[in-house]
Amino acid sequence: MAKIADPLDRAITTLKTAPPDPARPVLLAGPTASGKSALALHLAEAQGRVIVNADALQVYAMWRVLSARPDEADCARAPHLLYGHVGRNEDWSAGHWLRAVADVLKIHFNPVIVGGTGLYFRALTEGLVEIPPTSRDIRLQADAKLRQDGLDVLLAEIDPETRARIDCANPARVQRAWEVLQATGQGLASWQDQTPPPLLPHSATTAYVLRPEVDWLDARITRRFHEMMMQGALDEARAALPYWDPGAPWAKAIGAPELIAHLQGQMSWEEASAAATLATRQYAKRQRTWFRSRMKGWQDLFAPSA
């Protein structure tokens, strides 16, 4: 029986056979652990592009290993921008990211923009309205309500128009919608209806989305988590422990709550490892759902297995 080609090998073969227009920016989205960083590096080296991060967790300085940021060897092969430049006490949002990308595009006309944060790609290709920031007090209220009353209570207090648009199974999205309504008196959906034209319309790019087989991806997630532990992810969590704030954006790094719980004596290592791996798989599932519903016009870079 002939050996089935690895999905990443098939993807690279596809890019070599039918390369994107070198004069157009490339968008490359995919779930965590799907190999998109390696594909971005291939495109950057083959076509003289810079790589721009579109992952909301890889921006944070304290999570080099746990967020699977490109290592020094990869960064030496091609320029990598917007990685690891945000401190734990700095504000960062989709708006900050979009403004940073606008600055990149003034210098680099054909970057490969790669990541797994669907909201970033949506903001880039569909536009993003500037919503007034919410206060820390409102954020703490939302944290407490979510912790004490649960997701359904927050959902019930959000306007129906917003509920119809957001991912109601994603606590971060629900909490954000609740905070916006409390802070501004205006639902998130109403704000979104005021969205300006996009910085980089989909039609001006070559847009790829990775849709790997679930079994293949789950195996990579398990393997990568163990590799992260060997590379020092637990040390990163230990360094973050004195500053740990479960409600902080930087604390949303996948696997971080479980590692912190282990360091605090709330979980055994075996329990924390299993929980972190499961959380990563669940995150990948949410990403796949987003890509399936929001990126129907993007090119699927993983061909089906033979």
CATH number reported for the structural domain that contains residue 294 in this entry: 3.40.50.300
100 and 63 in a common domain: yes
The DSSP code for 113 is E
Q: Is residue 295 assigned to a domain?
A: yes
151 and 103 in a common domain: no
Q: Using one digit for the tens of pLDDT, what is the confidence trace for 152-186?
A: 999 999 999 999 999 898 888 899 999 999 999 99
**Checking DSSP bridges between strand 112-115 and strand 26-29, what pairing results, if any?**
parallel
Residue 150: CATH number of its domain = 1.10.20.140
Neighbouring-strand partners of residue 209: 29, 300
What gap in Å lies between CA 130 and CA 133, rounded to an integer?
A: 9
Is the pLDDT score of 271 beyond 80?
Answer: yes
| Averaged pLDDT score across all residues of the chain | 93
267 and 293 in a common domain: no
What gap in Å lies between CA 172 and CA 288, rounded to an integer?
A: 17
What gap in Å lies between CA 275 and CA 281, rounded to an integer?
A: 10
96 and 54 in a common domain: yes
39 and 108 in a common domain: yes
* Overall domain count for the chain: 3
State residue 214's pLDDT score: 94
State residue 92's pLDDT score: 93
Residue 259: CATH number of its domain = 1.10.287.890
State residue 301's pLDDT score: 86
**Checking DSSP bridges between strand 80-81 and strand 112-115, what pairing results, if any?**
unpaired
112 and 151 in a common domain: no
296 and 165 in a common domain: no
Residue 182's Cβ-count burial label (10 Å; 0-12, 13-18, 19+) is middle
Q: Is residue 235 assigned to a domain?
A: yes
State pTM to two decimals.
0.85
3-class secondary structure, 168: coil
Q: Is residue 306 assigned to a domain?
A: no
Is the pLDDT score of 306 beyond 60?
Answer: no
Query: Which of 51-55, 62-66, 132-136, 229-233 is least confident?
Result: 132-136
Is the pLDDT score of 24 beyond 90?
Answer: yes
Q: Is residue 245 assigned to a domain?
A: yes
Q: What does the pLDDT average to over 28-52?
A: 96
123 and 224 in a common domain: no
Residue 27's Cβ-count burial label (10 Å; 0-12, 13-18, 19+) is buried
Q: Is residue 1 assigned to a domain?
A: no
169 and 37 in a common domain: no
The one-letter amino acid code at 184 reads T
Is the pLDDT score of 26 beyond 80?
Answer: yes
Is the pLDDT score of 4 beyond 60?
Answer: no
153 and 61 in a common domain: no
Q: Cβ(122)–Cβ(294) under 8 Å? A: yes
Q: Is residue 66 assigned to a domain?
A: yes
Q: Is residue 2 assigned to a domain?
A: no
Q: Is residue 40 assigned to a domain?
A: yes
Q: What does the pLDDT average to over 62-81?
A: 97
Q: What does the pLDDT average to over 106-132?
A: 94
Q: Which domain holds residue 253?
A: 214-285
Is the pLDDT score of 1 beyond 80?
Answer: no
Q: Using one digit for the tens of pLDDT, what is the confidence trace for 207-248?
A: 999 999 999 999 999 999 999 999 999 999 999 999 999 989
Is the pLDDT score of 3 beyond 60?
Answer: no
Percent of the chain's residues with pLDDT above 70:
97
119 and 140 in a common domain: no
Q: Which letter, b or e, does each residue of 218-239 get, where b requires 16 or more Cβ atoms within 10 Å of its Cβ? A: bebbbebbeebbebebbebbee
Is the pLDDT score of 273 beyond 90?
Answer: yes
Neighbouring-strand partners of residue 206: 26
Strands (E), the chain: 26-29, 51-53, 80-81, 112-115, 206-209, 299-300
Is the pLDDT score of 261 beyond 90?
Answer: yes
State residue 5's pLDDT score: 62
State residue 305's pLDDT score: 44
176 and 141 in a common domain: yes
What gap in Å lies between CA 205 and CA 200, rounded to an integer?
A: 8
